Chain A
């Protein structure tokens, strides 16, 4: 069995809730990793071959890593999900600072009407070009699109590491929230609920088809994001109307395509864990950032879903190696001592994580006796 097959099999056994020989570790830190390997943030988001080389070297130096979320990234593709302006290191901000997303009001209430009447695709194209700096046509974004598949293949060939997130999608609430600004958007839900829903319905086929196109190459997994869609921010009724139908369809179509959905759910999802039981059993990965109670998630979801996470960024950045190691060990004890758990940072590993803490997080998965 090749190293790649070994890593992939271990990862997929965890997804399918079959007993594993080691608790899988999935690396998610598109800023920390290149920084640790000597790249500036500006280099990391523009020199993709070097970024992938850094990821390959990092994985070789850390044999506890079983999969990786993405070997290289550019902030200029984030507006596809967020519809917000980005600031890139070396261009808009100093070259060694983390990229930024500016969620500010760039879309008006009237835009919902335009979307409903004229369609989402044309509106979004104009919005991107005219209001947020045409990020997708930046040379850096085009270069990333051209290189991403090569990067995934290099991870497989050179490091034996499967890339878990080869496609990216999110429900319409993320797009509109990013374009309107959070408070404006949530007030829209109250003041113009039907209009917002109509605009979401108009946008949805475009968003979904764009996402599904990324699954045609049959990647291992796909990133299904939820941050403003977190039930922490919405009542159950609103969540059921404005989030769940889209989320459910996206997940089901991902599974239909033979791809594992990685539900990258930021903030607290405790109140809707029960709804996740509606999703097909042992087909999805639920990635948590430390805000959702992973133990409660395991209890509610039982053996229906693999959990990924959730070492908090605060521990990685400010804690000690022992604290990190103990956190991981306790998490495995409680959430998946035999299977159904993959360890990673909660959300992205922070840029200022301590190296010794990162190493302890990975080492704990190697030391744990399954």
Chain B
């Protein structure tokens, strides 16, 4: 593990299941590395708050809320210091950065890597049950989230049929031909290998 914390940028729209995924992910990593494994979460509140910070905090994880006076410009200026502050105060092994509504994950990755010195991984969470609908309205924004992703997690697979799931996969592949796709649903626990893929383990 590097001295600087790993940073996982997690994108995904409101209601796509980010809170649940985060809890699953962190529980998995703690089970794997032990209870001293520390995770900090930076939540973006520019867009609608889509991670339930109360739930995360109650589960015993540190949540920092990033807030900004401007969509684009001041945020990057705040982001790297927030990561550095968390690294100094909590020494986490992993910082998860919620990315919805921010600048594109790609630009954030570049700035965090260049100026924060942290290895960055990008995970895009896709809600299979609303994908087609959201895609029609927000294709450009979804592309900005999925294209740079190192891994794509298709969630709520239990709410769609095989044909719909295949369509989700096809359009995700149009945006990102390389990233592994993992699948999740409320009906079954996620495989350890899939959680590892999201965390880049």
Residues of A within 8 A of B (CB): 31, 75, 78, 87, 98-105, 181-184, 186-187, 189-191, 227-228, 231-235, 266-267, 289, 291, 312-314, 316-319, 345-348, 350-353
Contact between A348 and B100, CB atoms less than 8 A apart:
no
Contacts of A228 in B (CB 8 A): 71
Q: Which of A100, A182, A350 contacts B73 (CB 8 A)?
A: A350
Q: Which of B67, B81, B134 contacts A102 (CB 8 A)?
A: B67
Contact between A266 and B71, CB atoms less than 8 A apart:
yes
Contacts of A87 in B (CB 8 A): 67
Cα distance, A205 to B107, chains bound together (Å): 37
Q: Mark B14-57, 1 if CB is under 8 A from A, else 0.
A: 10000000000000000000000000000001111110000000
Cα distance, A340 to B76, chains bound together (Å): 28
Instruction: State which of B137-145, B150-158, B164-172, B182-190 sits at the interface with chain A.
Output: B137-145
Contact between B72 and A289, CB atoms less than 8 A apart:
yes
Contacts of B74 in A (CB 8 A): 31, 98, 313, 347-348, 350-351
Contact between A314 and B137, CB atoms less than 8 A apart:
no
- Interface presence of B163 (CB below 8 A): no
Contacts of B69 in A (CB 8 A): 31, 75, 78, 98-101, 348
6 CB < 8 A contacts A-B:
A98-B78, A100-B67, A233-B141, A312-B76, A318-B80, A352-B81
Contacts of A75 in B (CB 8 A): 69
- Interface presence of B111 (CB below 8 A): yes
Kindly identify, within residues 121 to 138 of chain B, every residue whose CB is under 8 Å from any CB belonging to chain A. Answer: 133-134, 136-138
Contact between B68 and A98, CB atoms less than 8 A apart:
yes
Using a Cβ cutoff of 8 Å, how many contacts connect chains A and B? Answer: 128
Contacts of A103 in B (CB 8 A): 45-48, 101
Cα distance, A98 to B46, chains bound together (Å): 14
Q: Which of A233, A234, A318, A348 contacts B70 (CB 8 A)?
A: A348
Contacts of A105 in B (CB 8 A): 48
Cα distance, A235 to B80, chains bound together (Å): 31
Contacts of B47 in A (CB 8 A): 103, 181-183
**Chain B: number of interface residues, binned into ranges:** 35 or more
Known contacts A100-B67, A183-B14; A317/B76 CB under 8 A: yes
Query: Smallest CB-CB separation from A188: which chain B residue?
Result: B137
Contacts of B115 in A (CB 8 A): 314, 317-319
Cα distance, A351 to B77, chains bound together (Å): 8
Cα distance, A184 to B100, chains bound together (Å): 13
Using A102-B67, A232-B140 as known contacts, list a sample of 9 further A-B pairs with CB atoms less than 8 Å apart, ordered by residue number in A: A100-B68, A100-B69, A101-B46, A103-B48, A191-B137, A266-B72, A267-B71, A289-B72, A348-B73
Residues of B within 8 A of A (CB): 13-14, 45-50, 67-74, 76-78, 80-81, 100-101, 103-104, 107, 111, 114-115, 133-134, 136-141, 144
Contacts of A345 in B (CB 8 A): 73
Cα distance, A235 to B114, chains bound together (Å): 31
Contact between A190 and B136, CB atoms less than 8 A apart:
yes
Known contacts A184-B14, A291-B107, A347-B70; A313/B45 CB under 8 A: no
Contacts of B81 in A (CB 8 A): 352
Q: Which of A31, A183, A313 contacts B76 (CB 8 A)?
A: A313
Contact between A350 and B77, CB atoms less than 8 A apart:
yes
Known contacts A101-B69, A183-B47, A184-B48; A233/B77 CB under 8 A: no
Q: How far is the CB of B58 from chain A (nearest CB, A)?
A: 21
Contacts of A31 in B (CB 8 A): 69, 74
Query: Smallest CB-CB separation from A228: which chain B residue?
Result: B71
Cα distance, A31 to B77, chains bound together (Å): 12
Q: Which of A78, A100, A227, A234 contacts B140 (CB 8 A)?
A: A234
Cα distance, A21 to B105, chains bound together (Å): 40
Contact between A314 and B111, CB atoms less than 8 A apart:
yes
Contact between B100 and A183, CB atoms less than 8 A apart:
yes
Cα distance, A353 to B107, chains bound together (Å): 18
Contact between A235 and B139, CB atoms less than 8 A apart:
yes
Cα distance, A232 to B136, chains bound together (Å): 15
Cα distance, A233 to B103, chains bound together (Å): 11
Cα distance, A331 to B140, chains bound together (Å): 28
Known contacts A87-B67, A353-B77; A187/B72 CB under 8 A: no
Contact between B45 and A267, CB atoms less than 8 A apart:
no
Contact between A350 and B48, CB atoms less than 8 A apart:
no
Q: Which of B13, B77, B134, B140 contacts A235 (CB 8 A)?
A: B140
Cα distance, A191 to B73, chains bound together (Å): 31
Contacts of B78 in A (CB 8 A): 98, 350, 352
Q: Which 3 A-B pairs have the closest CB atoms?
A: A350-B77, A347-B73, A190-B137
Cα distance, A177 to B81, chains bound together (Å): 28
Contact between A317 and B80, CB atoms less than 8 A apart:
yes
Contact between A267 and B141, CB atoms less than 8 A apart:
no
Cα distance, A350 to B79, chains bound together (Å): 11
Q: How far is the CB of A174 from chain B (nearest CB, A)?
A: 10
Query: Smallest CB-CB separation from B112: which chain A residue?
Result: A314
Cα distance, A181 to B107, chains bound together (Å): 22
Q: How far is the CB of A170 from chain B (nearest CB, A)?
A: 12
